[in-house]
Structure 1
Amino acid sequence: MEAVSQAASPVPSHVRPRAIVAGAGPAGAVAALGLAAAGAQVALLAPDRPADTRTTALMDGSVRVLEALGVWERLRPRAAPLRVMRIIDGTRRLVRAPEVAFRASEASLEAFAWNVENADLNAALDATVAATPGISRITGTLADFEVAPEGLHVETEDGARLEAALLVAADGRQSRARQIAGIEMRSRAYPQVAVTATLAHERPHGNISTEFHTETGPFTLVPLPGERSSVVCVVSPEEAERLQGLDDGAFGREMERRSASILGRMRLESPRGAFPLSARTARRLSAPRLVLAGEAAHVIPPIGAQGLNLGIRDAATLADLVADAVRAGADIGGAQVSEGYERRRRGDIDGRTLAVDLVNRSLLSDLVPVQGLRGLGLWLLGKVPGLRLAAMRQGVGPTRDIPRLAAGKPL
């Protein structure tokens, strides 16, 4: 289908504040809830979701969004707070960085983040979506869409047709909607694979998240409720294949060894995952009557827990813009929304992607000056209070242009 230019305001009488969200992963579900809270009628179009055994660390701003949307009360009992974030240099290089620990109380936070199992997150989102009158859940997959002056027409793979003013593409890294819109991705592949799992251990984690920096990337233990933690072990593709081939007992012992036994004996509790690392960012975040959210817009390595938190800020920013358009009686699929979204999200996405890239490449580098700069940076973070506080606040989320839901403010 061929796209044509958007209609200008005022809104044609037959265009209602209706949105279609393609994709019901966490970013899509939060987008649907945010749009409904903004006053739009929402069709959430997605196939049945496969099982997801991963975990997610939800930063403070993301928790505020989920609180405002009525999700957090369902999820909070299943979440573990990350009150201390510790970085340990586990390399065997000539220049090693000092150990640094950041405490949430220093930044006047209850926790930097809350770690949850994705199965629990998805269940809480699904329950909230089902209880929200403004959202219709449609089982299906987007096949094509067409933009016309009077609105937008979506066709599903089973031949159904839907109409709306705005399409939110939250349909993952292989986004069909993005491909139809002709939006290209900037990509960078890394020589690394993240091996993920959930482990039980004999010692309490004390709500401390520990990240070991190694020559192949970070090895991170993130608390879960009880004496359990999720692990993200970034290694070479060859080492990832070896780890995947270990039996469950040997895998637990290997994770204990890599963590210097700080949590005692470890036992595998979940299936293992293996994810080749890459960074991908859409060259445009919007097109006429279309915005990209979540992994349709950006994919970054699981370093610093930035990925889904970026997607939640996508959804919260879009809710801001749509709420303003609804109040003004403007077209929620018009240029004011799509161009405003492009402008407001680009800096956050590009800045976080660059920061994660620099941290990751500094670990892989064998250059002594690079190792020295990394060590100096961590030493300064441990010794300079103002720099330390600024780093903690930036790590949790942006300090400027914060979406209203993420700031705890009403739409």
Structure 2
Amino acid sequence: MGIQMDELDVLVGGGGYVGLSLAVALKQADPGLRVAVVDLRPREALEKDPRASAVAAAASRMLDRLGVWSQIAPHAQPMMEMIVTDSRLRDAVRPVFLTFDGEVEPGEPFAHMVPNGRMVAALADRAEELSVELIAPDAVSGFTSSSSDVEIRLASGGVRKAKLLVAADGVRSKLRDLAGIGTVRWEYDQSGIVTTVAHERPHEGRAEEHFLPSGPFAILPLTGNRSSLVWTERRDDAERLVKGDDFTFELELERRFGHHLGKLELAGPRHAFPLGLTLARSFVQPRLALAGDAAHGIHPIAGQGLNLGFKDVAALAEVLVEARRLGEDIGALDVLERYERWRRFDTFRMGVVTDVLNRLFSNDMDVVRAVRDVGLGLVDRMPSLKRFFIRQAAGLEGPSPRLLVGEAI
């Protein structure tokens, strides 16, 4: 490619659900914005992601407002109920300590399980419809900020200028590193095993979270007689299980899953991802903003990683669009700091909550187990507290950006 100096308003580094939804939100709210998304992976690779994610009610409202939920909904499984157990593998019975009804409003589930590939495909289609420039496969190899813009160098040799560069390139963000933004990070010596299973009997939309000594084992309903698993295991054991033979994996899976849904069969590849907590020391600097996992990576115990990213999208889009309407420079630090103030405490709080929950429930001490089981039982007997927790999980508690309540920016 030859050198290009095309002027953009926003260039987003990262073409996953965060990067694409931000581009769509900006372009839909202000068609005059010049927006591009660059990603190292071709679109076909992103759409083949076999994983599924829990999309909270607030996030599904945003996706509906962005014009993509109708494409996603036929492949989404509503969560109609959630149960929580706490036991050891050798226990003959897993007592249910906590149950949640799945609706936050009549007819509105607190979350849906959505295939990642379908979600990215819908967002990419909408981005193209709105004339967002999609650049792939390519990557940002470097950038230089000035008082008026940021010059962005692409790995392919192209050069673009923009008012703002957004890093949405994941928890190991190259753009964050290029900007010199440090992180607070620690490892859990755990990995999350992710796979899909088919089972003989229907799940009826019920999600299950089993707290086991090595970490939570989540069974999340998918369309048909299938479920997505997020299985937390000690890192060495997870690597052994993923690399081992199918018979051993299925045997260990059955010990944790149980027999309540009948015969089990693997219905997708299995992968293991190291788990840790990563919080960026700053979400912004002049001409740069971090969003999604580039700003924060948390433990999946509460299923909120994707939804935190969508909250970033809604907040950043609202800040940028309103600043532009006021004639402000969307890449100026004082504008970007509004976004950071909006999102930093929430992500820090969620990071602390997931860290404490993981340490509390990945613990086999008898005293700790007794205390947490009493706590779960008390919550189960307090309907108002349960409603508060389910609305928190749905992203509907407290003040929210407009997109997350289904309103236009």
Q: Structure 2 length normalisation: TM-score? A: 0.92
Cα distance in structure 2, aligned partners of 1:83 and 1:159: 50
Q: Which residue of structure 2 aligns with residue 89 of structure 1?
A: 86
Q: Which residue of structure 2 aligns with residue 251 of structure 1?
A: 249
Matches within 5 A, 1:366-385: 366-385=364-383
Percent identity of paired positions between Structure 1 and Structure 2: 37
Q: Which residue of structure 1 aligns with residue 65 of structure 2?
A: 68
Q: Are residue 48 (structure 1) and residue 41 (structure 2) matched?
A: yes
Cα distance in structure 2, aligned partners of 1:102 and 1:222: 14
Match of 1:31 among 22, 25, 46: 22
- Is the Cα–Cα contact under 8 Å of residues 57 and 396 in structure 2 kept in the other structure? no
CA-CA distance at 1:34 after TM superposition: 1.4
Q: Which residue of structure 1 aligns with residue 3 of structure 2?
A: none
Counterpart amino acid of 2:207?
A: S
- Is the Cα–Cα contact under 8 Å of residues 199 and 252 in structure 1 kept in the other structure? no
Q: Deviations over 1:310-362 (max 9, x none)?
A: 11111110111012112112111123421001100011111111111111100
Query: Per the alignment, do residues 117 and 249 of structure 1 end up closer, same or farther by CA in structure 2, a change over 3 Å counting?
Result: farther
Q: Which residue of structure 1 aligns with residue 118 of structure 2?
A: 120
Q: Are residue 174 (structure 1) and residue 167 (structure 2) matched?
A: no
- Is the Cα–Cα contact under 8 Å of residues 107 and 392 in structure 1 kept in the other structure? no
Query: Per the alignment, do residues 42 and 80 of structure 1 end up closer, same or farther by CA in structure 2, a change over 3 Å counting?
Result: same
Counterpart amino acid of 1:193?
A: S
Say which is worse superposed, 263-272 or 246-255, in terms of deviation.
246-255
SS in 1 for 2:54: strand
Q: Which residue of structure 1 aligns with residue 140 of structure 2?
A: 142
Q: Which residue of structure 1 aligns with residue 362 of structure 2?
A: 364
Cα distance in structure 2, aligned partners of 1:48 and 1:208: 34
Match of 2:159 among 152, 158, 161: 161
CA RMSD, 1 decimal: 2.0
Match of 1:215 among 208, 213, 216: 213
CA-CA distance at 1:237 after TM superposition: 2.1
Q: Deviations over 1:293-322 (max 9, x none)?
A: 111111112222111111111111011101
Cα distance in structure 2, aligned partners of 1:35 and 1:367: 50
- Is the Cα–Cα contact under 8 Å of residues 97 and 375 in structure 1 kept in the other structure? no
Q: Which residue of structure 1 aligns with residue 9 of structure 2?
A: 18
CA-CA distance at 1:122 after TM superposition: 1.5
Counterpart amino acid of 1:393?
A: R
Unaligned residue ranges in structure 1 (runs of 5+):
1-14
SS in 2 for 1:144: strand
Cα distance in structure 1, aligned partners of 2:107 and 2:352: 26
Matches within 5 A, 1:314-329: 314-329=312-327
- Is the Cα–Cα contact under 8 Å of residues 220 and 229 in structure 2 kept in the other structure? yes
CA-CA distance at 1:245 after TM superposition: 3.8
Counterpart amino acid of 1:215?
A: P
- Is the Cα–Cα contact under 8 Å of residues 308 and 347 in structure 2 kept in the other structure? yes
Cα distance in structure 1, aligned partners of 2:245 and 2:262: 19
Q: Which residue of structure 2 aligns with residue 341 of structure 1?
A: 339
- Is the Cα–Cα contact under 8 Å of residues 55 and 116 in structure 1 kept in the other structure? yes
Say which is worse superposed, 163-172 or 330-339, in terms of deviation.
330-339
CA-CA distance at 1:127 after TM superposition: 1.3
Q: Are residue 312 (structure 1) and residue 310 (structure 2) matched?
A: yes
Cα distance in structure 1, aligned partners of 2:251 and 2:174: 42
Query: Per the alignment, do residues 45 and 29 of structure 1 end up closer, same or farther by CA in structure 2, a change over 3 Å counting?
Result: same
Q: Deviations over 1:11-53 (max 9, x none)?
A: xxxx987111011011111111112123222011112243422
Q: Which residue of structure 1 aligns with residue 182 of structure 2?
A: 184
Query: Per the alignment, do residues 16 and 376 of structure 1 end up closer, same or farther by CA in structure 2, a change over 3 Å counting?
Result: farther
Structure 1 segments, 4+ long, off by >6 Å, are none
- Is the Cα–Cα contact under 8 Å of residues 55 and 118 in structure 1 kept in the other structure? yes
Q: Deviations over 1:156-209 (max 9, x none)?
A: 112211111111100122222211211001001002111110111000000000
Counterpart amino acid of 2:57?
A: D
Unaligned residue ranges in structure 2 (runs of 5+):
1-5
Q: Which residue of structure 2 aligns with residue 59 of structure 1?
A: 56
CA-CA distance at 1:396 after TM superposition: 1.8
Cα distance in structure 2, aligned partners of 1:347 and 1:300: 14
Q: Which residue of structure 2 aligns with residue 7 of structure 1?
A: none
Query: Per the alignment, do residues 93 and 187 of structure 1 end up closer, same or farther by CA in structure 2, a change over 3 Å counting?
Result: farther
- Is the Cα–Cα contact under 8 Å of residues 97 and 379 in structure 1 kept in the other structure? no
Q: Deviations over 1:85-107 (max 9, x none)?
A: 1111123699x975211002366
Match of 1:278 among 276, 291, 294: 276
SS in 2 for 1:166: strand
Cα distance in structure 1, aligned partners of 2:260 and 2:289: 44
Counterpart amino acid of 2:85?
A: I
- Is the Cα–Cα contact under 8 Å of residues 71 and 128 in structure 1 kept in the other structure? yes
- Is the Cα–Cα contact under 8 Å of residues 388 and 397 in structure 2 kept in the other structure? no
Cα distance in structure 1, aligned partners of 2:157 and 2:273: 34
Cα distance in structure 2, aligned partners of 1:308 and 1:186: 20
Q: Deviations over 1:68-96 (max 9, x none)?
A: 111111111011001111111123699x9
- Is the Cα–Cα contact under 8 Å of residues 7 and 161 in structure 2 kept in the other structure? no
